[in-house]
Amino acid sequence: MTTTTTSRARRAGIAAFVGTTIEWYDFYVYATAAALVFGPLFFPSGDPLAETAAAFATFAVAFLVRPLGGIIFGHIGDKLGRRVSLVITLLLMGISTVLVGCLPTYETIGIVAPILLILLRAMQGLAVGGEWGGAVLMSVEHAPEGKKTFYGGFTQLGNPAGALLASGMFAIMSRWGEDFIMNGGWRIPFLLSIVLVAVGFWVRYRVEESPVFEQKVEGRKQSMPLAFALRVNWKPILLGIGLLPISTGGYYLATTFATAYATGEPISMSPQLILDAMTIASFIEFVVTLPVAWLGDKWGRKNVMYIGLVTSVLTFVPFMLVLPGKIEPIIFLLASLVRIAMSFTYAPIAAILAQMFRPQARYTSIALSYGVGAAIWAGFSPWFATQLIAWTGSVWSVLAMFTGMALIAGLCTWLAPQHSDEAPVTDSFTPRTDTTTARTA
């Protein structure tokens, strides 16, 4: 690995980290607000559970349009380059987030308020649908064989960093009380996004284009990347969707749903308590993500995923069961342990998914796989978990769902192929897998 290669890989990794941090901050600000304030402000009904379910339904809208965002920006990324696509997604996410912070509520303009909220949430979904796949490819494709999981971890590092910023903002504002948040304080985290987007745009625009795109796809671009992806990559796309139940859906169950469950009836925990716990957990996940990604190159990225799936179940179950007791030290401890466990499912997923596809139409393939998977697993997990509680009256129904999701992810991880960027680009269905990639799979 030459000094130039190391430098380019480091710059790409840092740019991926900064960009995805901003994108996920915007995304999680909405998720936190949906759990805490959007129900009564935009969907007032007098029934707290119905208001929360309605707010989570708008939360799901972004996941429903993520596949469309993956198709649109995947096409741009496969035709014009990863960097062009990523600059556009960053601007789109920032603009839509700031506009959410400017929205009048239902009390002011009636039904128009939730309609506008849904439209802006859909814009967020389009942006993040194209963001993640492009950021992953920029970091992984700049990295040499044997270090792809580590550099892919820089993209994944943006998730806990964004969550830390989002939950941290709301945790700070909770010091002024619930009335401050409800009466306009909730707008502050959305409006601050404009500053972060300006920083991210400057960092991202300075990064070189992916060497895999330049060397292997240039001159062999597919006129219709989506058609190529569906014709050639349909099997790994389906497996990629099946890889994501815990990395995406389980994550939102442990954060967004857990926040709503803890602060709602009958637990009625202080929002400040659960937000503090989530903020500390996000920080701890931020600290462990890159070391876990490094382990993915040492132990095998699939092995790290298996560890994460098992430990996620073993920590999520007691975490949800102790919430009604409101014992602060145990809640803080388990919230952090859950996020450490889930980092083992999230840190290696960038490299696993990226290496499942050939360079041609890779952006479209990974964005489509992740977008559809997130729509299925993450988009509806908080809403469906809320409904399960209403139907069964027991949190055990949610725990059973979580365990089933982990089993599906484990099976698809075992079946997932892993290919090498050092193999020659061909149009045949089975690309060559080198020994380095086989060892890290």
pLDDT in tens, 26-40: 878 887 888 788 888
d(CA 203, CA 10): 13
CATH number at residue 270: 1.20.1250.20
- pTM here is 0.79
H or E element that contains 264: none
Q: Is the peptide bond before 266 cis (omega within 30 degrees of 0)?
A: yes
Whether pLDDT at 2 is above 80: no
Positive or negative, the CA dihedral 339, 340, 346, 350 is positive
pLDDT, position 32: 81
Is it the case that residue 216 has pLDDT exceeding 70?
A: no
Check whether 312 has a pLDDT greater than 50: yes
Whether residue 116 is predicted with pLDDT greater than 50 in this model: the reply is: yes
How high is the pLDDT of residue 135? 85
How confident is the model at residue 359, as a pLDDT? Answer: 77
d(CA 50, CA 32): 17
Domain with 128, as residue range(s), is: 3-440
The overall average pLDDT reported for the chain is 84
Average pLDDT on 272-276 reads: 87
pLDDT of residue 422: 60
CA dist list (Å): 209 to 85, 400, 412: 11, 44, 31
Q: What is the pLDDT of residues 250-261, one digit of tens each?
A: 988 998 899 889
What pLDDT shows up at residue 221?
55
pLDDT score recorded for residue 431: 39
Is the pLDDT assigned to residue 319 strictly greater than 70?
yes
Q: What is the pLDDT of residues 391-439, one digit of tens each?
A: 998 999 999 999 999 999 999 999 999 877 665 444 443 433 433 333 3
Q: How far apart are CA 380 and CA 59, in angstroms?
A: 9
pLDDT band with cut points at 50, 70 and 90 for residue 220: low
DSSP H helical ranges for 244-270: 251-252, 258-263
C-alpha dist (Å) from residue 208 to 7, 9, 76, 161, 205? 11, 10, 16, 24, 8
User: Which of 58-67, 82-91, 285-294 shows the lowest mean pLDDT across its residues?
Assistant: 58-67
pLDDT: which is higher, 151 or 379: 151
The Cα–Cα gap between 427 and 151 comes to 27
The structural domain count of the chain equals 1
- The tens digit of pLDDT for each residue in 101-113 reads 999 988 889 889 8
pLDDT higher at 47 or 265: 265
Task: Identify whether the C-beta of residue 55 lies closer than 8 Å to the C-beta of residue 34.
Answer: yes
Q: How far is Cα 351 from Cα 421, in angstroms, rounded to an integer?
A: 12
Q: What share of the chain is helix, strand, coil (3-state, %, to 5)?
A: 80, 0, 20
Residue 270 per-residue DSSP state: -
